[in-house]
Amino acid sequence: MSKVIEIIDLKLVLQGKTILKIPYFSLDREESICLTGPNGAGKSTLLSVMATLQEPTAGTVSLFGKNVKDQPLLELRRRMAVVFQKPMMFDLTVIENLELGLKYRRLKRKEKETRIYPWLEKMKLTHLTKRRARSLSGGEAQRVALAQALILEPEIIFLDEPFANLDKEMRQGLIDEIGKTLKAKKITTVMVTHHKKEAAAIADSIYLMEDGEIVDREFLAFQNNPG
């Protein structure tokens, strides 16, 4: 399988402190992983580096087979989607926020509707389409952010504690639904989470981080494919 992400001799130093030190890491196309570990381990920072949102101090980060520095960032970011623990919504209605990313992909109206409306139902957002996104509760906004990312059908998705603001009942249903979708659509996935159940539903393997380094890896293939 071709590598979607490859990191070599990555180092990130901020204000004199080493935040990340990753000698080597790679992620194959269609592979799904979770980053876990204690607070301050560097999980979200590593995700941000992979998603081109944080530039490392040293080392090489390659996406889709080429060094990030040799590729236009806008074109790279059109091939990916990112969901943060705290959703970032534009001051538009819910439906306008969901349509925003599709406008740059020049899809026909019917194709836009085909992508948007199933996720409105799955995320239980159909009654909120005309609400201003910034008036939503934390859980509602998180569901909009998840829908916004999945509607794009990216080649790779980065999820940073994406279910943290959801209540227990809503969380479990969505985890299962999104896990199935990511696998069916063959979307390469990097997720940060503290929850083993979330990891088992989404990932093929878990990487444990401590003090900015990857210290262990646990495979979950048997759990995801019990047959």
Range of the domain at 89: 30-41+69-224
Angle value at C-alpha 101, between 100 and 104, nearest 5 degrees? 100
52 falls within a domain: no
12 falls within a domain: no
**pLDDT value of residue 166:** 86
Q: What is the pTM of this model?
A: 0.92
**pLDDT value of residue 170:** 83
22 falls within a domain: no
Give the CATH number, domain containing residue 34: 3.40.50.300
**pLDDT value of residue 221:** 55
**pLDDT value of residue 196:** 85
On whether the CB atoms of residues 186 and 163 are closer than 8 A, the answer is: no
The 3-state DSSP class for residue 129 equals coil
Q: What is the mean pLDDT of each run of 10 residues along the chain (227 residues)?
A: 92 96 97 95 97 97 96 93 89 91 78 90 92 91 93 95 85 87 94 90 94 92 44
Cα(18)–Cα(107) distance, integer angstroms: 44
**pLDDT value of residue 111:** 85
92 falls within a domain: yes
What's the number of domains the chain is made of? Answer: 1
47 falls within a domain: no
95 falls within a domain: yes
**pLDDT value of residue 207:** 96
**pLDDT value of residue 1:** 55
11 falls within a domain: no
125 falls within a domain: yes
